Structure 1
Amino acid sequence: MVVDVAPTVDDLLRGKGLRSTAQRRAVLEALRGHPHSTASELEARIAAGPGAGALSRQGLYNVLEDLDGVHLVRRIEPAGSPARYELRVGDNHHHLVCRGCGRVEDVDCAVGAAPCLDPLEDKGFAIDEAEITWWGVCVDCRRKPAADPAPAESPVG
């Protein structure tokens, strides 16, 4: 007989010293299966969910800050993009970001232990983590036909 011993959302919250509130549970559930979600995406998913409770935009940001503070979620901030949140924490993974559509994909740490990249000089810091973001164009965006060039202006005569 196999017994499911995966921790519940309540267990995760209480294990980090947080009360298990409906708002915190809703945010964690909204992130399941949807890594790299923005606050707007989470807000829409929570509002559309079953038994959606009232969660203001400010309330959502407060919950995200609480969850990030105890390392139940990870906040990433790719340049030019709103902050994104994911449940994958504590494993020192990195990210690929598409310049075309903004898609974000996880990339496992090449070394397997943090930090997986060392600077040439540590400047006296005790380094324990490296956060790396690679930028490029995803396969879907590369398959799209190039945009038509703007029509040339007619010469004025």
Structure 2
Amino acid sequence: MEQSAGDLLKSKGLRNTAPRRAILTALQGHPHSTASDLERRIGARKSGSSGLSKQGLYNALEVLTNAQLIRCFEPAGSPALYELRVCDNHHHLVCRKCGVLEDVDCHTGVAPCLDPVESKGFAIDEAEITWWGLCAQCQETVAGS
């Protein structure tokens, strides 16, 4: 993270609280984390005691998502996932077998990168795309069977 968690919060006019800093820090190096993943990471950092209620965690996740400091997305069949990569219109690849999830840059570089056949009066500003398939490792496993 180029800026410290405290600086990021300040840049969005948010209070610099320990739970918010802990979430931003826990997402570093761990993109696509669930709330449960974050709870474990934050709890582990504080000698086995989370120091943050589940409701407090979800409240902080909502505040950070609304401020566009983190992104929340929900691939089909998966709990909500959180990541630090925001406002860049990237997409995701998901392996149907092992569940590995990878970021994919938008090839057009502008949002939305796809236009629907019919907008039905919406002013469209984003497209969220998830491609499903088998990762290279799972392809090898299937081929070797």
Q: Distance in 1 between matches of 2:64 and 2:123?
A: 25
Runs of at least 4 residues of structure 1 off by over 6 A?
none
Q: 1:10 aligns with which of 6, 11, 23?
A: 6
Q: What secondary structure is seen at the aligned counterpart in 1 of 2:107?
A: coil
Alignment partner, residue 21 of structure 1: 17
Alignment partner, residue 72 of structure 2: 75
Alignment partner, residue 120 of structure 2: 123
- In structure 2, what residue type is equivalent to 1:45? R
- In structure 2, what residue type is equivalent to 1:47? G
CA contact (8 A) 1:23 1:53 kept: no
Q: Following TM superposition, by how much is the alpha carbon of 1:117 offset from its aligned partner in structure 2, in angstroms?
A: 0.5
Alignment partner, residue 41 of structure 2: 45
Alignment partner, residue 139 of structure 2: 142
Moved more, 101-110 or 49-58: 49-58
Percent pairwise identity? 65
Q: What secondary structure is seen at the aligned counterpart in 2 of 1:37?
A: coil
CA contact (8 A) 1:10 1:20 kept: yes
Q: Distance in 1 between matches of 2:66 and 2:113?
A: 23
Moved more, 64-73 or 8-17: 8-17
Q: Following TM superposition, by how much is the alpha carbon of 1:140 offset from its aligned partner in structure 2, in angstroms?
A: 2.0
Q: Distance in 2 between matches of 1:79 and 1:87?
A: 20
- In structure 2, what residue type is equivalent to 1:48? A
Name the TM-score, length of structure 2 as normaliser: 0.91
1:109 and 2:106 aligned: yes
CA contact (8 A) 2:39 2:50 kept: no
Q: What secondary structure is seen at the aligned counterpart in 2 of 1:144?
A: helix
Q: Distance in 2 between matches of 1:82 and 1:34?
A: 16
Higher helix share: 2
Q: May I ask how many residue pairs the two structures share in their alignment?
A: 143
Q: Distance in 2 between matches of 1:116 and 1:85?
A: 22
